[in-house]
Chains A and B, each alone.
Chain A
Amino acid sequence: MSICDGVPVGLADAETIFALSSGHGRCGVAVVRVSGPASATALRSMAGLTRSLPPPRTALLRSITEPQSKEVLDRGLVLWFPAPHSFTGEDSVEFHIHGGPAVITAVLQALGSMPGMRPAEAGEFTRRAFQAEKLGLTEVEGLGDLIHAETEAQRRQALRQMSGDLGRLYQDWSHKLKRCLAHVEAFIDFSEDELIEDGVLTQVDKSVCDLQADIERHLKDERRGERLRSGVQVVIAGATNAGKSSLLNTICQRPAAIVSPIAGTTRDVVETALDIGGFPVLLTDTAGLRDSPDLVEREGVRRARERVEQADLTLVVVDCAHLPSDAQEAAAFLLAHLKSILPETAFPPTRCLLVLNKTDLLHGDQRQKLDWELRRVCGLPPVCLISCHTNEGLQDFVTVLHNSVKTLCGDPLSGAPTLTQARHRAHLQQCVTALAQYQQYRDTDLALAAEGVRLALTSLGRITGRVGPEEILDIIFKDFCIGK
């Protein structure tokens, strides 16, 4: 077998970087900057320029396409800055595209899918410019601001990402990799004179194999589904025939879900990615919650409940017609209804909106009265009265929804997860490739095998934080008695 199979792509030419250079969140025009030797290739394959490059530093209007599928992602300006006349002193390209999160994510993902490209580290463009001595006095002065901003952003971003389940998952992988590396290193540095058995390596083999499988599975998961998967998860739930699917269609202004007067029309989960006031939202319609003898519908209900549990925000839809006419009784009814839908952990229901649908069926001032009285009841989430049929109250509802999403995100950086996910994906991909190097060299050259684990840890470390040799030695000395 050749021992040079499987060149770790993406590690070999990791020198071309890209990033969204304009601010995050919704904006008119977004600028994506690329810098490094592969810039020209990126420009050619994404702007459909097969032969010549555009004249230097001149804007050109092009369709921007996905390099493999040739799917058009956006139409925008491209600029070509050949070295050394660019900000970084390297070959650079700028894509001026529309500012929607979906477009930006698509373009960043397309860039990341090309060989030799990786998302830039914070401050890396400036750093390169600085190293190429491209910064004048004023720019040097501006560096302070910039680095500060980036550090702060990075810190907050890292904190936000690292506190969640995803963070725990990555940390766990990092921890396992550290142990793998420590054990391989112990075997290399100490096994000749110490009692470090070959069994140590067998364990590492297993861990590396498991990790590789885990990360690959995770990467596949990440690709599935809508682009804005990392947006706020908003789930529509309620009894059958309350108008959940109609609400979905009304919000996204297109018939995304099938609606019919027949109870139990929606049996599976229907997902749509939306942009609500600049925030990425994943809106999910679920099957109406009821006990059904139908196996398919029962599975639908199970999935609905699962989604409600995972939701960032639940829209509980109630048919107005089912409400008792007395306000007090109506409040009690609604509370009981919430309890049947939301999991116990969701109480008090702060991450929930009550949507009372079908107000067109109410008579006269009944609507105002209901609205007025329900607002006074303690313990109920915000109530919106709407009619998906006549669009009555829809505007108010969208405003309330927008505010809730905004509160949930809290942080203007919420537009960024898509970007950081692209970064994560690239690093995880490198991590998997590097682990393959371990397998490849395991029996022929342990030094090169260890190098694979080390590269994997470095890649993962770009998400979870750097791991130095001292930390590895600490594990070695904790796990083994090194007597020599």
Chain B
Amino acid sequence: MLTKKLSTLHSFLLLASRRAGHLARQQYDVIVVGGGHAGAEAAAAAARMGAETLLVTQKIHTIGVLSCNPSLGGIGKGHLVKEIDALDGLCGRAGDWAGIYFSILNRKKGPAVWGPRAQLDRQRYREFIQAELLGTPRLTVLEGSVEELQVTEPNPEEPGHHRVTGIRLANGSHQISARSVVLTTGTFLSGSLFMGQTTSPGGRIGDAPSSAGLSYTLQERLGLRVGRLRTGTPPRIVKDSVDFSLVEPHLPDKHPTPFSFLNTHVRCKPEEQLLCYLTCTTPGVERVVRESLHLNCHIQQDTKGPRYCPSIESRVLRFPGRAHQVWLEPEGVNSDLLYPQGLSMTMPPDMQLLLIREIPGMQRAEIHTPGYGVQYDFVCPTQLSPALQVKSTQGLFLAGQINGTTGYEEAAAQGLWAGVNAARWALSMPPLALSRTESYIGVLIDDLISRGVTEPYRMFTSRAEFRASLRPDNADLRLTLKGFEEVGCVSSLRYQEAVRVRDSLQEALAALQTLTLSAPNWTKKLPNIRISEVKTTSLTGVDLLQYRDVSFEMLASAFPECLSRFTEFSQRLKIEAVYRFHCELQKKEIERIQKEENMALPQDIDYFSLPVSLSQEVREILDRFRPSTGKRREDHAETNQTIRRIEKRSCVQEMHLYLSEMTDKLPCKGVCIPQNVQNNKLKCLRTCAIFMFYIR
């Protein structure tokens, strides 16, 4: 992939030919609205799935823009990047192309929580994504602004109250129809920008605000509940104005590790990587924050901001009297700017300058672009299905910040999955869900749709229950095979590579397992390793590999004939050996959860018209929440609140009444009834039984 020639001129010619008037068709399978990280992945995934796809974005040259920090991956987020790559998404390869500083975070803390991360060259990243999208078959990119969604009556065969049929563009009534639409509007949905005491409409500085029509359709026409969140970005600093003798340089990894399973190396040469710098806040910073509070609208409002990644204002207010870290990150090989990670702020620009000059190394720093805050609408994600489709609207999918998340990786992950399912819907294939037992993407989506959000949602490794199994190193084994065999979003090239890897790993582990020696014999082979076992125990190669100081290379040089051909996988084999036992342990719990997840409830039950004694309130909960599976979730905020209010017990009793009524209505044994009636009633009974498990 890295050998691909990126010709800017070539891209430009392509761009020029895809203006609105020149669209080859007025009908697509999938339309993706928005060209950010979610939109790019959604469009690419839908096209990979075989759907004729249209990506509509305000400006083609801002596709793949890194609006905030110039970096990708990290702890938890790196897991997402690996998984997106395993499903043949873009961001992993784009990261390898654009990275200028690679490091694996948490190196010392165990491979399950390693966080592959890279600083990116903004220009290169954007170029890669644009070239990739413009070179994708079946994908058309269109510059334009979407005025509203076209919505009509639902397809009666499927659950839902509405059906999406396409979009209408602003500037005239240009309509384009599609079987499904993916909205990835980011911070642009009723977005407003904050700086000091001034507020202006928009989702990102320098870009036009999105039309109010879309927001109106979502809320008024489709009846979706929306909430409001805020985020912010720091000022960009002129590189030459920073005194680097006063900040602490941080080196990247000597040998950059690529994100993508397809790449063996990254574009940037190891020695050409740039540096990051660490400095910290001083009491002067705190003083400036306090003095500027009355000039700072954003911080005074209580719209939910994140507890992590808070603005410097909330950091010093919440934890005063401390030195907070500030990272100075490069923005690109040819960029004259630095990105001060940790200094997101919304005070007036002159105060921003005063603030940064209180920081060591930045006493004479100049601001290129001031920081600002953004407030925007998000659609409460509990209204979505595991396929990221709006439950009430057939064919409408949402991904990214519109669902209340923050971060490129979180957006890209949802985008990919929404794109997959939008294509499946358009191509009349059943929706697919990713389980939280198999991927971080599954954890992300499950958390969103079943718990909702109260602050921008960010991935952490602690959110994944099965962390020992869901590791960055094995994302291909977890997802690529499935992605090809079941989903259809993975190319056969990537699939074949994953199969090769899987088979080699299995062979290697089998070979290790058959290497059985007594403890003294192992000591003879590996004299530097202290083996504590008693003399009579025999140990396999897998056992030995679990020893802290034993590497696969050591075993391979001791037994070259059977192991040396696997040295390509040394690190993965070591990890497999250490984690094997814990993964086995988790497997049982995983199977239990998957069993529960598979007790799917019919989505099309009309809870209001059931001829049974259920209170209106219970019907409303059931109708609103529409539990999709029998999974028991004690932490489901929304349902729990309501159910607690009406008291669990009465709910169960009503369910019970319902059950008895239903059974009363069933004919006696031996009486023949039409098959479909019986099935329908059984379906209802099953719903109730599962539901009772659920609310228990």
Partners in one complex: yes
A binding-site residues for B, Cβ under 8 Å: 1-4, 7-8, 11-12, 14-15, 123, 127, 130-131, 135, 137-138, 140-141, 143-145, 147-148, 151-152, 185, 187-190, 192-195, 441, 444-451, 466, 468-470, 472-473, 476-477, 481-484
CB <8 Å contact, A147 and B468: no
Q: Which of B319, B596, B685 contacts A137 (CB 8 A)?
A: B685
Residues in chain B near residue A189, CB distance under 8 A: 75-76, 113, 460-462
Given A2-B532, A195-B325, A483-B325, A445:B110 Cβ within 8 A: yes
B267 at the interface (CB under 8 A from A): no
Interface size on B, residues (CB 8 A): 68
When the two chains form their complex, are residues A3 and B685 in contact, meaning their CB atoms are under 8 A apart?
Answer: no
Q: Are B649 and A148 in contact (CB under 8 A)?
A: yes
Closest chain A CB from B595 CB (angstroms): 6
Within 8 A of A (CB), among B95-113: 105-106, 108-113
- 26 A-B pairs (CB sep. < 8 Å): A3-B578, A7-B581, A12-B585, A127-B693, A131-B595, A140-B685, A140-B686, A141-B660, A143-B689, A143-B692, A144-B655, A147-B696, A148-B649, A195-B322, A195-B325, A445-B111, A447-B112, A447-B461, A468-B635, A470-B451, A472-B462, A473-B462, A481-B319, A482-B309, A483-B310, A484-B341
* Cα distance A470–B455 in the bound complex, in angstroms: 12
- Nearest A-chain residue to B467, judged by Cβ: A447
Residues in B with CB closer than 8 Å to A449 are: 110
Q: From B693, which residue of chain A is reached at the shortest CB distance?
A: A127
Distance of A123 Cα from B696 Cα, bound (Å) = 10
B599 part of interface (Cβ distance < 8 Å): yes
User: Do A446 and B582 have beta carbons less than 8 Å apart?
Assistant: no
- Against A, the Cβ 8 Å flags (1 = close, 0 = not) of B188-228 are 00000000000000000000000000000000000000000
Bound Cα distance A145, B657 (Å): 10
A2, A193, A447, A476: which contacts B109 (Cβ < 8 A)? A447
Q: Which residues of B contact A469 (CB under 8 A)?
A: 462-463, 465
Tell me if B535 is interfacial: C-beta within 8 Å of chain A.
Answer: no
CA distance A451 to B318 in the complex (A): 30
A192-B115 in contact given A131-B599, A470-B451, A482-B307 (Cβ < 8 Å): yes
Asked if residues A2 and B585 are in contact (CB atoms below 8 Å), the reply is no
* Cβ-defined contact, A188 with B696, below 8 A: no
**B634 is an interface residue with CB less than 8 A from chain A:** yes
Answer yes or no: B22 CB below 8 A from chain A CBs: no
Cα A195 to Cα B279 with chains together (Å): 12
Question: Known: A131-B595, A143-B659. Contact between A446 and B460, CB under 8 A?
Answer: no
CA of A135 to CA of B685, assembled, Å: 12
Assess the B111–A148 pair: CB atoms within 8 A: no
Query: CB-defined interface of B444-483 with A at 8 Å, one 1/0 digit per residue?
Result: 0000000100000000111101011000000000000000
B28 close to A (CB within 8 Å)? no
Q: Are A151 and B652 in contact (CB under 8 A)?
A: yes
Residues of chain A contacted by B652 (CB below 8 angstroms)? 144, 147-148, 151
* Contact (Cβ within 8 A) A144 B656: yes
B10 — which chain A residues lie within 8 A by C-beta?
none
User: Given known contacts A3-B547, A151-B649, A190-B308, what 14 new A-B pairs fall within 8 Å (CB)?
Assistant: A4-B581, A15-B588, A123-B693, A144-B653, A151-B696, A189-B113, A193-B341, A445-B111, A445-B578, A447-B461, A447-B467, A447-B468, A466-B635, A484-B309
By a CB distance below 8 angstroms, the chain B residues around A193 are: 105, 325, 327, 341
The reply to whether A447 and B634 form a contact with Cβ atoms under 8 Å apart is no
**A1 with B109, Cβ < 8 A, contacts A144-B652, A144-B659, A483-B309 known:** no
B342 interface neighbour in A447, A448, A451, A483, Cβ under 8 Å: A483
Q: What separation, in Å, do the CA atoms of A15 and B693 have in the docked complex?
A: 19
Residue of B with least CB distance to A144:
B656
B648's contact among A145, A151, A194, by CB below 8 Å, is which? A151
How many angstroms between the C-alpha atoms of A448 and B110 in the bound complex?
Answer: 7
Indicate if B23 sits at the interface (CB-CB under 8 A). Answer: no
- Taking a contact as CB atoms under 8 Å apart, the answer to whether A194 and B585 are in contact is no
Complex alpha-carbon distance, A193 and B649, angstroms: 47
A451 touches B467 (CB 8 A): yes
Least CB distance, B543 to chain A, in whole angstroms = 7
CA distance A130 to B649 in the complex (A): 21
* Residue ranges of B at the interface with A (Cβ–Cβ < 8 Å): 75-76, 105-106, 108-113, 115, 307-310, 315, 318-319, 322-325, 327, 341-342, 451, 460-463, 465, 467-468, 532-533, 543, 546-548, 578-579, 581-582, 585, 588, 595-596, 599, 634-635, 648-649, 652-653, 655-656, 659-660, 663, 666, 682, 685-686, 688-689, 692-693, 696
Closest chain A CB from B661 CB (angstroms)? 10
Cβ contacts under 8 Å, A194 to chain B: 325
Compute how far the CA of A161 lies from the CA of B317 in the bound complex, rounded to whole angstroms.
42
Partner of A484, one of B308, B463, B653, B696: B308
Q: Closest Cβ of chain A: how far from B312's Cβ, in Å?
A: 8
Check if A446 sits within 8 Å of B110, measured CB to CB: yes
Contacts A152-B649, A185-B462, A451-B582; is A141 near B307 (CB within 8 Å)? no
Nearest B residue (CB) for A476: B462
A2 B533 Cβ-Cβ under 8 A? yes
A441–B546 alpha-carbon span in the complex (Å): 12
A3 touches B548 (CB 8 A): yes
Report whether B467 and A192 are in contact in the complex, using a CB–CB cutoff of 8 Å: no
A152 CA / B652 CA spacing, docked (Å): 11
Nearest opposing residue in chain A for B312, CB measure: A483
Complex CA gap A190/B105 in Å reads 10
Q: Which residues of B contact A192 (CB under 8 A)?
A: 75, 105-106, 115
Q: Which residue of B lies closest to A151 (CB)?
A: B696
A residues less than 8 Å from B468 (CB atoms): 447-448, 451
A24 to chain B, nearest CB (A): 20
User: In the complex, what residues of B have CB within 8 A of residue A130's CB?
Assistant: 689, 693
**B-side contacts of A15, CB under 8 Å:** 588
Nearest Cβ on chain B to A150's Cβ, whole angstroms:
8
Shortest beta-carbon distance, B32 to chain A, in Å? 30
In the complex, which residue of chain B has the Cβ closest to the Cβ of A443? B548
A447 touching B110, Cβ below 8 Å? yes
Residue on A nearest B320 in the bound complex, by CB: A481
**CB–CB B113/A446 < 8 A:** yes
A135 to B581, CA, bound (A): 35
Residues of A within 8 A of B451 (CB): 470
- The residue in A152, A449, A482 that gathers the most chain B C-beta atoms within 10 A of its C-beta is A482
- Cα distance A446–B461 in the bound complex, in angstroms: 12
Residue of A143, A189, A448 most packed against chain B (CB within 10 A): A189
A140 touches B689 (CB 8 A): yes
Q: Which residues of A contact B688 (CB under 8 A)?
A: 144
Output the nearest chain A residue to B327 by Cβ-Cβ distance. A193
Determine whether the beta carbon of A188 is less than 8 Å from that of B113: yes
What's the Cα separation between A4 and B462 when bound, in Å? 23
| A482 proximity list for chain B (CB < 8 A) | 307-310
A236→B542 CA distance, assembly (Å): 63
Complex interface: chain A residues within 8 A of B461 (CB): 185, 188-189, 447
Specify the chain A residue showing the minimal Cβ separation from B468: A451
The answer to whether A2 touches B462, judged by C-beta atoms less than 8 angstroms apart, is no
- Interchain nearest-CB distance for B654 vs A (Å): 10
Residues of B within 8 A of A140 (CB): 659, 685-686, 689
Residues of A within 8 A of B310 (CB): 482-483
- Residues in A whose Cβ lies below 8 Å from that of B467: 447, 450-451
Whether A137 and B546, one on each chain, are in contact in the complex, defined by CB atoms closer than 8 angstroms, is no
Report B423 CB to chain A, min CB distance, Å: 31
From A467, which residue of chain B is reached at the shortest CB distance?
B635
Assess A481 versus B599: contact at CB under 8 Å? Given A7-B581, A141-B663.
no
Hey, which chain A residues are within 8 Å of B75, CB to CB?
Answer: 188-190, 192
Interchain CB contact (< 8 A) of B113 among A1, A7, A148, A447: A447
Q: Nearest chain A CB to B182's CB is how many angstroms away?
A: 28
Contact A3 B112 (CB under 8 A): no
Most buried by B among A2, A449, A473: A2
User: Separation in Å of the A372 CB from the closest CB of chain B?
Assistant: 49
Query: Complex: how many Å from CA A145 to CA B655?
Result: 10
A451 to chain B: which residues have CB within 8 Å?
467-468, 582
Q: In the bound complex, what is the Cα–Cα distance between A483 and B595 (angstroms)?
A: 39
Per the bound structure, the CA–CA distance linking A119 and B327 in Å amounts to 52
